[in-house]
Structures are given as structure tokens and as C-alpha cells.
Chain A
Amino acid sequence: MNTPIRKPAFHGTGGELFLIHLVNALLIVITLGIYWFWAKTKVRAYLYGQTEFDGDRFAYHGTGGELLRGWLKAVGLVFAVLVAGVLIQLLLGEIVGALFIYAALGFVVAPMAIVGARRYRLSRTSWRGVRFSFRASWKEFIPIFVLGVLLTVVTLGLYYPFFHVQVRRFLVDHSYFGNRPFSFDGDGRDIFGRHLLALLLFVPTLGFYWFWYTAFRNRYYWSHTSFGGARFDSTVTGGALLGLFLTNALLLLVTLGIAFPWVQVRTIRFHADRLVLAGPAELEEVRQEALAATATGEGLADLMDVDLVGADFFGL
């Protein structure tokens, strides 16, 4: 076999992360919350710095100041939308104003948040000294997002797996490491059947089948993600995912949440241990090509509570 296999490894420990969280919590209290942005940055720098891929660690270059500015801009934007909504309510009536607010937040600001947060995070991540980047604007994402949401609603959720795959494709295809793109060749039809099965089995299995569906989708997504001539592969199984979930839940339960850093570390290690990149990735040929990005999208994502943990670099 001549195929090169590259693997990630996570070296972080719960104890170290706990100490970081502890100091952060204290500083957040003392600074009346302002430190939150720096705290978030410190946790991220630690997690990225402890993640190794093919013998080298990732580095995180974001700063708390950027996050604070991004958050302020995001607050300004959401505030502007609300003010405009109230004005429209006064001029054109309650229903038009409310519709405006829902449409603006759901169909413009939410896609902005998803794309913006990804742009910011990738642009602040490096490996072997070369930055990642995301090269698409939120404007290109809006039609995909709006159409996907509407079709999902109209088809009573049947369209959802197709929508999910499309979002995935948009996010992966525009992600770059240096001057080279990642690419995604998944198809919604491949997961549609399993999605239906998961819906049907949800009640009879008390929801537990969802772990197997999630693991399947995870494996499917990774095996359809490639970089250069190399392809990712994940060996996550439903049983293992369920085991992780149960042990994490128990840990949090018996420690009244204090075990959170350990849970974080276990979860990252779980996914890292099951991921490989196989094939000629031609990493030697990758050239630096950094891209500017602001943290406004990140701030929006925080405000709107868009969960992007899964879309971090393990979710590429």
C-alpha cells in the first residue's frame, strides 16, 4: 500500500481546560462580562493548539478585541432591523412589520451569521504556518438558504436532508487551505432513505435510532469530502456515539456540570480518533493565500444562537 494516511490527534486535557475556564469565569465576573470575548478566544486557542494533524498542530490567531468589535456590529445590525421593523409596523401595519422582522432575521441575518462565522474562524486558523479561508459571500448563500427553508416547510420536512447536504456543499466547497480548496460531492438522495427511516424509527426506538442516523450522516459527509487527491473518512458508529452521549451526560449530572471541560475534551478526542485523510493530498504544493475577514458574522452567530460547534474544523 502506497496510499499515505494522515490522522488527527487531540492532546488537550480536562484539567488544563478546567483551569482556563476557571480563570476566565473569575475575569468575566470582575470585568462585568466584558472579558467574555477574550475568554472565548483563550479556550479556542487552547483547543486548536492541542489538535494535531499529521504531526503538526493547528494554531488559532483570533483576538478578543476582534470578537468584541464583531459583537458590537452584530448588535447594531440586529437593532437596526428591529427599529426598521417597528417603523414599518407604524407605517404599514402590525402584520407587515412583524413579517419584515421575521424575514430579515430568518432569511438575511441568519445566513449572514452562518457564513460570517465560518469566514472568520477559518481565516484565523492555520496549520504548518498556512492560513485557512472561506471564499464566498453571504449573498451567494441567501438563495440556497431561503429556498431550502421554504422547500423544507412546504414538503413538511421531507426536503430537509437535501437542504442539509446543500448547506454542507456550500460550506465545504468554498473552504480553502492556503490556495487549495476542499470539495464535497455528496448527494441528498444518498441520505434521504436513512432520513426517512430515522423519522419512522424515532418513536419506536425512543429517539435512540437518531444516534445511528447521525453517525451514518457523519460518515457519509466525511467520505464525500476531499482535499486535492485525498479523501476523508470517519469510523464513527451509532453505538459509540450513544456511549459518548450517555457517559458525557452522566459525568455532567454527577458533577453538577463541573465536568464540562472534561466532556469537551472527550468529545473532541472521540471525533479526532475516528477521522483519517487518505490519499495524495499534495500538501507540499499548498501556498499561503490568506484572506481578510471580520468577526461580525461570529457576533451574529452568538446573538442568534446559531450552533456552529459541529461546523468547526472537525465538521469542515
Chain B
Amino acid sequence: MTDTRRLLWNGWYYDGQTARRHSVEVEVGSTGLALTLEDGSMRRWMYHEFRQVQGSRPGEPVRLERGPDPPEILVVEDQSFLERLKENAPGAARSWVTPAERRKRQRWLLAAGLLGLGAVGAGYTWGIPILAARVAAKIPPEWEVRLGESLVESVTSQERICSDPELQQAVQGVVERMSREAGSRYSFQATVVDASMVNAFAAPGGFIVIYRGLLEITESPEELAGVLAHEMQHVIQQHGIRAILREVPLRLVVAAVVGDLGTAGQMLTTASSLGSLRYRRADEASADRAGVLMLQKAGIDPNGMLVFFRRLAQQERGLPEWVGYLSTHPPTRDRIRKLEALIAGVEKDWQPLLGGRDWDRLKRSCATLVTPEVS
């Protein structure tokens, strides 16, 4: 396309000292450019002396600059000047970019960009969870305990704790029986909250919180043990810590991009905002599976767990008290089917929990504590 014999080009020259625009004739030579100004004076630009500043975008005049700031400037409107230049100075030409080369580069850039996005996506889906699990395993248990404490504190500080010693000991006893069999590195501590909400959760470091509402809808201690086993597995498998390690860096990046570092700092300091973190569905399934195994090892009938979740599935969902546990642990058909498959075929001499004590009375012992009315 370029006329290879063409040697003369018209352009504009600026000396970097005034805003005067000089019309100039440019001759492309073997070692450099010869610029002839309108007054007949000459400038010689060696190929290695100048740099290209513009001219690689469609329709953009070629702009060359020479010397330290403020530089001399040569502008040639015709972009084919650049191709001619490259042919004549193969050594210095590498840093000059023609529109055609730029388009090619852009395509590469776009491909690399999409690949990069893919890599970021893959890293987020697979890489970060693996990394989070590795890091979580290295965290000293005391740190987890401290984090768990502040988490439980922030959730239960507004609530009354059930103080009935018999109930407290019964629940704690079930937890410890399973914990012994699991041989975990955490010492578990169960707390019963005196609130009508149907809820239960686990915090890192071995804290299990059960709400009175959930306690009261269980029909046997085995059912309660099922819920407890599931929550204990979240702790043992560090699902909470891993969720934090997975989510927080990403949120920090998002916050940094949005330029809102204040929010990021706040997010790190308030433990309660960690409540918005969710376990992954895989974590829930894993807690169910390991929970059933732990129940069996401890000689507790795992059918309690199944029965409880079946009952949950039939419950009225509209009641506000039910939002807590149901929203985090929906008893889906899939979940119940998996539990049935796990339990099927395992027959054993289950040792009844709490030695046949009256569960109906025990589970209500919390509510019987009448709060003194101040009138």
C-alpha cells in the first residue's frame, strides 16, 4: 500500500519554545529525518533520537517528539508516513506502532484480558477455597476461640441465657459425648438462649448456640443431638473460618476498587457483619455426612436427625420465629434423601440419651423460669 519510493512528506514543526506552528517538509533518509522549515532552515532528527507519541489510533496524526522536556515536536497527518519510517529504520522502528500493528495488539490484549478474567474467576471458584482451607488449618485455635467468643457475644448480648442447670448440663453432656468420639481439637461449649426463635448456629472455636424455640420442637434428645452434631461439624471442619478467609479478601478488593476503604475497615472490625457470611452448600452436605458418622460413633441413633429434618420440612414457613434456622438450613428433599441413604442399613444397639429422662419436661425447663415483673 505504501509507496516505497515516496521520500517527502508535509507536516508541522513546533520548537518547544513558542506556540508557533511551522510548516515543514520531511525527507525520510537512511539514518534519520531531514526537516526543512518554511524559512529554509534545516533540522536533522536521527532515528534513535526521537520517540512516537501518537499516530497508532485510527485517523490520529503521527506525532514524534525529540529531546528533553519541553521537546521539539513533528506532526505528520498522513499515517502511512509511519510505515515508510519503519521500513527505513528497522533498528529503531521496534518502538513505533502503526495502526495495523495496534489493531493486532488490541486483539491480543482483548484475548489476554478475557483469559485474565477467566483466571480470576477460576481462582475465585477453586483457588481461593483451597487456599482458605490451608490457611484455616494454620490458624492457632486460641484465635478461633477469641473470634468465636466475640461473635457469640455480639449475637447473644441482647438475649437472656437459659440458666436451668439441669438443661444446661444435659445439652453440654450430649455435646461432650460426641466430642470425645470425634477426638477434635476444640473443647465445645453449648449455650441455650432463652428466645422463642427456632435457631441454632456454631461459631469458630467450639461455640454452639441453641435457641429455646428449636429445643422445644424436638421430640427426643436424639433429635437435638442431630442438630448439635451438624453444627459441631461446622466448627471441626472450620467452615466459618474458611468462609471468612474466602469472602473478606474479595470484599476488600471490591471496596478498594470502589475506593471505599472506610467501609472495608468497618467490615473487618464489626464481627456481627460476619453474620452475612454463608456456608456453601457443599459445607452443609459435608456437615450432615460427618455429623451422622459422629452420631453413630458415639452410639447415638442418627434417625433422630432425619426425623427432625422431616418435621422441619412439614412446618409452617410463614412464622417469623422460623426464619432463622430454616433460611440457613432448608430441609430440602435432596438433603433428606442423602441423609436417608447414609443412615439406611446401619443397625446398631443405640444407647438412649439422658437415660430415659422426661425430655418433654426437660426441654421446657427453660421457659418455666418466670422473669420477675417490674411494675
Contacts and interface: CB of A to CB of B under 8 A. Distances in A.
Interface in A13-41: 16, 19, 22-23, 25-26, 28-30, 32-33, 36
A23 B53 CA distance: 20
Contacts of A22: 113
Given A23-B113, A129-B71, A16 B19 contact: no
Contacts of A29: 120, 253, 257
Interface in A176-210: 177-178
A123 to B, nearest CB: 12
B19 A32 contact: no
Contacts of A30: 116, 120
A185 B372 CA distance: 79
B19 A283 contact: yes
B333 interface: no
Given A128-B19, A286-B18, A26 B116 contact: yes
A22 B69 CA distance: 31
Interface string A53-65: 0011101010000
A287 B256 contact: no
A23 to B, nearest CB: 6
Contacts of B257: 25, 28-29, 33, 36
B117 A26 contact: yes
Contacts of A57: 54, 61, 63
A32 B116 CA distance: 15
Nearest to A75: B261
A11 interface: yes
B267 to A, nearest CB: 15
Interface string B73-115: 1010000000000000000000000000000001001100100
A19 B21 contact: no
B14 A128 contact: yes
Nearest to A129: B14
Interface string B112-134: 01001100100000000000000
Nearest to A284: B20
Contacts of A284: 18-20
Given A19-B106, A129-B14, A288-B70, A32 B59 contact: no
Contact of A131 (B12, B20, B70, B72): B70
A229 to B, nearest CB: 15
Contacts of B63: 57, 59
Contacts of A127: 19
B355 interface: no
Nearest to A28: B257
A280 interface: no
B17 interface: yes
A283 B21 CA distance: 9
Contacts of A56: 12, 21, 75
B110 A129 contact: no
B50 to A, nearest CB: 13
Nearest to B256: A33
A49 interface: yes
A266 to B, nearest CB: 18
Given A56-B12, A129-B72, A11 B59 contact: yes
Given A30-B116, A128-B21, A36 B259 contact: yes
A49 B16 contact: no
Interface string B18-30: 1111000000000
B60 interface: yes
Given A11-B59, A11-B60, A56-B75, A287 B109 contact: no
Interface of B: 12, 14-21, 53-54, 57, 59-61, 63, 69-73, 75, 106, 109-110, 113, 116-117, 120, 252-253, 256-257, 259
27 contacts: A11-B60, A19-B109, A23-B113, A33-B257, A33-B259, A36-B259, A49-B60, A55-B21, A56-B21, A57-B63, A59-B53, A127-B19, A128-B14, A128-B20, A128-B73, A129-B14, A129-B15, A129-B16, A177-B19, A178-B19, A283-B21, A285-B18, A286-B18, A286-B19, A287-B18, A287-B19, A288-B70
The 6 closest A-B pairs by CB, nearest first: A33-B256, A129-B14, A286-B19, A128-B19, A130-B19, A129-B73
